[in-house]
Chain A
Amino acid sequence: MDIEIVLNVSSAILFMGVLGLLLSSLLAFANKKLWVFEDPRIDEVESLLPATNCGACGSAGCRPFAEALIEGKVAPALCTVSSADNITEIADYLGVDSGDVVKRVARLACAGGSHVARMRAHYDGLASCRAAAVVSGGPKGCTWGCLGLADCAEVCEFDAITMDKHGLPVVESAKCTACEDCVEVCPKGLFSIQPVDHRLWVACKNLEHGDTAENDCEVACTACERCAKDSPEGLITIDDNLAVIDYSKNGLASRVATERCPTGAIVWLDDDRGVIKGTQAKRIIRKEALPI
């Protein structure tokens, strides 16, 4: 009886031991046989990257970007999330030039805050732009405009977007990494990623003409064509009742285009002074929201 138990136990231990030995030697063999050389610098560079995997550089994440850096396909400065120090560190480590990349930021093509853009109805549902947009396009008079329920501010991982007192999102350039999350989330498609040197900017998407557009929003583009006429040929065209800037001719852009805009829909974005409207744009002194 006792011997039977001892035999059973010892045979089990023996069997498991032999099996373990066999499998471990198989693993050891596979480890040698299937070993692939991987550049140790990849790990090193990856540890210097911010590990946000935001994709703003165009790579799928920080590791693919590190691989591309090692292969010399991209410059370190393409990572817009890293601080300048980090980028220099990576460039020094790899012994390459840190590269020169124009900073890109998210921009909103709407200036219709609650003090200038009319609401046509109360919206009382789920506090999300997406939800409001499926209820007959949202409560705003201008069906192209910002609904102001902050889906973009919520989705932004870098806290770069805050809502101002008129219910419009404001992008803080320093924090924006051009990751495009806000571009995807906006149901009205108002955000786009722009290099900061695109200083001439149409802050409107309203496709209506003249008074019809202005009735809904005091700062709407009325398609009066003054900006197009005052600018060098081809820089600004009027397409579907909206001024469209051809950024391939960005070198020709100047503040002249904004000067005669009656509503201030086309603006000049200055690094220090912020949004500059033309001198003939109507002054908006109202602070409170428009009645419905």
Chain B
Amino acid sequence: MGLFDLFSGLKTFAHGIHPPYHKDTADKPIRRLPFPAQLVLPLDQHIGKPAIPLVKKGQEVVRGEPIAKADGAFSVPLHAPATGRVRGIELMPTPKGPKSDAIVIDVYEGSTQEVLWKQPREMSELSPAEAIQAIQETGMVGLGGAAFPSHLKLTIPEDKTVDTLVINGCECEPYLTCDHRVMLEHPQALMRGIRYAMRATGTTQAIIGVEDNKMDAVEILRNHLPKGGAIKVEAVETKYPQGSEKMLIKSVLNREVPAGGLPADVGVVVNNVGTLAGLGRLLPEGEGLIERVITVAGPGIVKPGNYLVPLGTPIRHILEQVGYEGSRTEFILGGPMMGPAVSAMDTPITKGTSGLLVLNEPSIEEESHKIWPCIRCARCVKACPMHLNPSILGQMAAKRKYEEMAEDYHLNDCFECGCCSYVCPSNIPLVQYFRIAKAINREQVA
């Protein structure tokens, strides 16, 4: 913590970086996009087991109807985002990489925006276990990007107790403003979602952490807080990666999650604002997750903004609607720091996609691709929010000592935020090395 932070009184964590934020779409209200002609819904949009399809080729589905069921506890169901006919279950490109099985729906022209399939329920009558069950039925996953099933996140392991629900409204990635808009436009749904989550987890207090570049959201949320003071809104320093759950816990509660541990180890459960606002809306209505807010931005976009898009919309359709310029452009799903670049225009928006960025390539090409030797300046060490040593890890990766990296240098605590690569003056692709190392270690285990 620097001297300045002490005086400013803002809560924060140690290390991290300050990239240019480009939050130009923060004043753009959420707008709906029309349905595309075809929706592509991969069965493995979430972390865990892929869903099992319930529909077959040629079947008609209505907006909101379940089309795939959860495969056990470590999975979530899928719902049809539009009324149409199932074209089949085909191999389609996904943001994750290899093509995987997806339900493809031909959307009827004039398909209604009204959700035609719902099972309203009275949330106050449900026990915590039933509430968890209801959350799984909505198909909700972490909308911040990780796409981890929400019902699993809100299930507290039996040997642990949690006292605090932390709600992540940081949105520390540059460009993205969808969570910001959700906080501004749907504070009631968010408060409802927080209440459901507190009841399901048995927590007694909730803290919404919002970066201080979104003071308008802080104010609106404070105006909507229920009486009793169980829910607080806390402004935290604008710094990347403030929105990582471990950093946010450190900032708002000054608790440190042990290496290799989970937030539950320090009595905390963390959820994204988008996720809880979604639950607040979907749970009482008994609907499934069929659409989400994404930020479409970047220098190549004609009409940047925050758009409500049906899941499964191919990025080609979104780009046609908002317009984009440039022949050689880079498309990124999510934020520029952690989001994956996509290599196919047919790639659909999935539950974990928080944004679509279009960056013109020349900005990248002007810079040299040459990698220089490490000069031991330790900027990466100073930037790493997990207090790892990216410099040593990078040298070990070059020697392919992947197992040693994991065993002796805590590689698995790296959550790939990319701060190290961002600050490296020698242009060493550190986080890229670590992603390769982790991928190889995962393969060795499997």
- Nearest chain A CB to B89 CB, angstrom units: 13
Q: How many residues of B contact A (CB 8 A)?
A: 25
> Which of B91, B93, B439 is A136 in contact with, Cβ under 8 Å?
B93
Which B387-442 residues sit within 8 Å CB-CB of chain A? 429, 432, 435-436, 439-440
User: Once the chains are docked, how many angstroms separate the CA of A125 from the CA of B436?
Assistant: 13
User: Once the chains are docked, how many angstroms separate the CA of A164 from the CA of B96?
Assistant: 29
- Nearest chain A CB to B335 CB, angstrom units: 15
Which B98-112 residues sit within 8 Å CB-CB of chain A? 98-99
CB neighbours (8 Å) of A121 from chain B are 341-344
Q: A121-B344, A125-B429, A207-B91 are in contact. Are A144 and B436 (CB under 8 A)?
A: no
CB neighbours (8 Å) of A128 from chain B are 436
Q: Which residue of B lies closest to A130 (CB)?
A: B436
Q: Is B9's CB within 8 Å of the partner chain A?
A: no
Q: A121-B343, A124-B364, A126-B429 are in contact. Are A136 and B436 (CB under 8 A)?
A: no
- Nearest chain A CB to B50 CB, angstrom units: 16
Proximity bits, A239-275, B CB within 8 Å = 1, else 0 = 0000000000000000000000000000000000000
Q: Is A122's CB within 8 Å of the partner chain B?
A: yes
CB neighbours (8 Å) of A133 from chain B are 97, 439
CB neighbours (8 Å) of A124 from chain B are 361, 364-365, 369
Q: Is B275's CB within 8 Å of the partner chain A?
A: no
Q: Looking at B99, B364, B429, B440, which has the most chain A CB atoms within 10 Å of its CB?
A: B99
> Which of A122, A125, A138 is B432 in contact with, Cβ under 8 Å?
A125
Proximity bits, A113-153, B CB within 8 Å = 1, else 0 = 00000001111111010110111111100011000000000
- Nearest chain B CB to A198 CB, angstrom units: 25
- Nearest chain A CB to B336 CB, angstrom units: 14
- Nearest chain B CB to A137 CB, angstrom units: 3
Q: Is B238's CB within 8 Å of the partner chain A?
A: no
- Nearest chain B CB to A93 CB, angstrom units: 36
Which B30-47 residues sit within 8 Å CB-CB of chain A? none
Proximity bits, A17-44, B CB within 8 Å = 1, else 0 = 0000000000000000000000000000
> Which of B341, B361, B432 is A126 in contact with, Cβ under 8 Å?
B432
How many A residues are at the interface, by size bracket? 20 to 34
User: Once the chains are docked, how many angstroms separate the CA of A29 from the CA of B97?
Assistant: 64
Which A68-124 residues sit within 8 Å CB-CB of chain B? 120-124
Tell whether, in the assembled complex, residue B436 and residue A208 are in contact, meaning their CB atoms are under 8 Å apart: no
CB neighbours (8 Å) of A138 from chain B are 97, 343
Q: Which residue of A lies closest to B343 (CB)?
A: A121
Which A133-179 residues sit within 8 Å CB-CB of chain B? 133-139, 143-144
User: Once the chains are docked, how many angstroms separate the CA of A139 from the CA of B97?
Assistant: 10
Q: Is B313's CB within 8 Å of the partner chain A?
A: no
CB neighbours (8 Å) of B436 from chain A are 128, 130-131, 134
Tell whether, in the assembled complex, residue A136 and residue B347 are in contact, meaning their CB atoms are under 8 Å apart: yes
Proximity bits, B347-390, A CB within 8 Å = 1, else 0 = 10000000000000100110001000000000000000000000
- Nearest chain A CB to B365 CB, angstrom units: 8
- Nearest chain A CB to B435 CB, angstrom units: 5
> Which of B343, B365, B429 is A139 in contact with, Cβ under 8 Å?
B343
Tell whether, in the assembled complex, residue B344 and residue A135 are in contact, meaning their CB atoms are under 8 Å apart: no
Q: Which residue of B lies closest to A121 (CB)?
A: B343
Q: Which residue of B lies closest to A141 (CB)?
A: B344
Query: Which residues of A come within 8 Å of B, CB atoms?
Result: 120-126, 128, 130-131, 133-139, 143-144, 187, 207-208
Other A-B contacts than A122-B328, A131-B436, 10 sampled, CB-CB below 8 A, are: A124-B364, A128-B436, A130-B440, A131-B429, A136-B95, A136-B96, A136-B97, A136-B340, A137-B98, A207-B91
